[in-house]
Structure 1
Amino acid sequence: MFSTQTQLKRRTPQNGTNREEYLSLLVDEYLNTSSYEAKCQVLANLANFAYDPINYSFIREVGVLDIFVHVLKKETSTKLLRFAIAGICNLCIDPLNAEYILTYLGLKYIIALLNSSDTTILADTITTLLYVYNEHTKPEIITPDVIKVLQQLKDTEDPRLSNLATIFLQDVSQIN
């Protein structure tokens, strides 16, 4: 559910931590923990916060985008990649976030996730590509390799992937 500033103030106890501080604490925890499970839990929480547009400015200010970008560039853990692309997918609807993602991550790392065997990663990757597609990104997105993967996913038994691939092929690449 999307929130308003009034709702946030009403739900935050008088001496409670505000949203920006809480996100900052999560970022610090992610950066300072050596526990893989803690990193996964924090990254999942950050991806969930990325769902609500009211958090977008806080997310930019405290460095959450930087964490998602770092994970997609450097990590190999399917679990961490799943949470990072979910966060990116949730955030890239916003033009400021999309610009940041394209500037500091680029499409190469997102497109590389089309090779994943994880259906959630694939769904979030296709959705992200749909969201960031425009005349500037078209040459990187509409490539023979991307089209080939999406044509294969169109025929998969997973209805979510099949539908997303079909939408992509029809609407973005205009291939039926």
Structure 2
Amino acid sequence: MFSSRAHLQKRTPKDGTDREAYLSLLVDEYLHSSSYEAKLQVLANLANFAYDPVNYSYIRDVGVLDIFLYVLKNETIGRLIRYAIAGVCNLCLDPLNADYILTHLGLKPLFRLLKSSDTDTVADTITTLIYMYNEKTKTEITDQDVINMMSNLKTTQDLRIVNLATVFLQNVCKTT
């Protein structure tokens, strides 16, 4: 559910932890934990915070976006990648976040995720590419290799992926 800063302040107890401080604690826990399960839980929580635009500036300020991008660049574990791309997908609607993502990650690592066996990862990746499509990204996003991958995705068994790939090809690439 989307919140306003005033609503969050009203709901936070006088001696409670504010949103930015809580996100900062989660970032510290992720960075200092050696447990895969703990990292997975924290990353899932951080991705959930990315749903609400009121958190965008906090997320940038405390380094959550950097964690998502690090995971997408460096991790090979599917579940970590799933949560990282979910967070990026939620955050990329904001122009500041989209610019940050392009500057620090680029689009190429996202194209690699289109080949994932995890349908949630593929769905969030296609959605991210649709959201990030603009004049700056047009050439790279509508590259023939990407179009071929989307065309292949239209033949999968997962209707959600088929529909997203179709939307991408029809609305972004203007092909059928």
Q: Shorter-chain TM-score: what band?
A: over 0.9
Which amino acid in structure 1 is aligned with residue 84 of structure 2? A
Distance 2:152 2:23 in 1: 39
TM-score between both structures, scaled by the size of structure 1 = 0.98
Partner of 1:92: 92
| SS at structure 2 position matched to 1:175 | coil
Q: Provide the residue aligned with 1:58 in structure 2.
A: 58
- Alpha-carbon distance in 2 for matches of 1:45, 1:118: 19
Amino acid at match of 1:136: K
The separation in 2 between residues aligned to 1:148 and 1:59, in whole angstroms, is 34
Residues 116-127 of structure 1 correspond to what in structure 2 (within 5 A)? 116-127=116-127
Comparing 128-137 with 90-99, greater Cα deviation is found at: 128-137
Q: Which residue of 1 is the match for residue 161 of structure 2?
A: 161
Q: In structure 2, what residue type is equivalent to 1:10?
A: K
Structure-2 separation of matches of 1:141 and 1:117: 21
Residue identity opposite 2:157 in structure 1? E
Structure 2 residue matching 1:51: 3-state secondary structure: coil
Distance (Å, rounded) in 2 between the aligned partners of 1:40 and 1:50: 16
Q: Deviations over 1:37-88 (max 9, x none)?
A: 0000000000000000000000000000110110001000000000000000
Question: Could you say what secondary structure the match of 2:106 adopts?
Answer: coil
Question: Percent same amino acid among aligned pairs?
Answer: 66
1:148 CA displacement = 1.2
Give the whole-Å Cα distance in 1 for the aligned partners of 2:99 and 2:152.
29
In structure 2, C-alpha distance between the alignment counterparts of 1:7 and 1:72, rounded to whole Å: 33
The alpha-carbon deviation at position 155 of structure 1 amounts to 2.2
Return the alpha-carbon distance in structure 2 between the equivalents of residues 125 and 86 of structure 1: 8
* Further displaced range: 1-10 or 32-41: 1-10
Within a 5 Å distance, the mapping from 1:15-94 to structure 2 comes to 15-94=15-94
Deviation (angstroms), 1:141: 1.1
**Can you give the 5+ residue segments of structure 1 that lack an aligned partner in the other structure?**
none
Match of 2:136? 136
In 1, distance between residues paired with 2:162 and 2:88? 21
Taking the aligned partners of 1:12 and 1:95, their CA distance within structure 2 comes to 28
Give the length in aligned residue pairs.
Answer: 176
Q: Shift of the alpha carbon at 1:157?
A: 2.2
Q: What's the offset of the Cα at 1:135?
A: 1.5
Structure 2 partner of 1:107: 107
Instruction: Note the alpha carbon deviations across 1:9-56, whole angstroms, 9 max, x for none.
Output: 122111110000000000000000000000000000000000000000
Cα distance in structure 2, aligned partners of 1:129 and 1:160: 15
CA distance in structure 2 between the aligned counterparts of 1:88 and 1:4, rounded to whole angstroms: 21
Distance 2:111 2:152 in 1: 15
Structure 2: how far apart are the matches of 1:31 and 1:44? 14
- AA in 2 matched with 1:65: L
> Alignment RMSD, CA only?
0.8
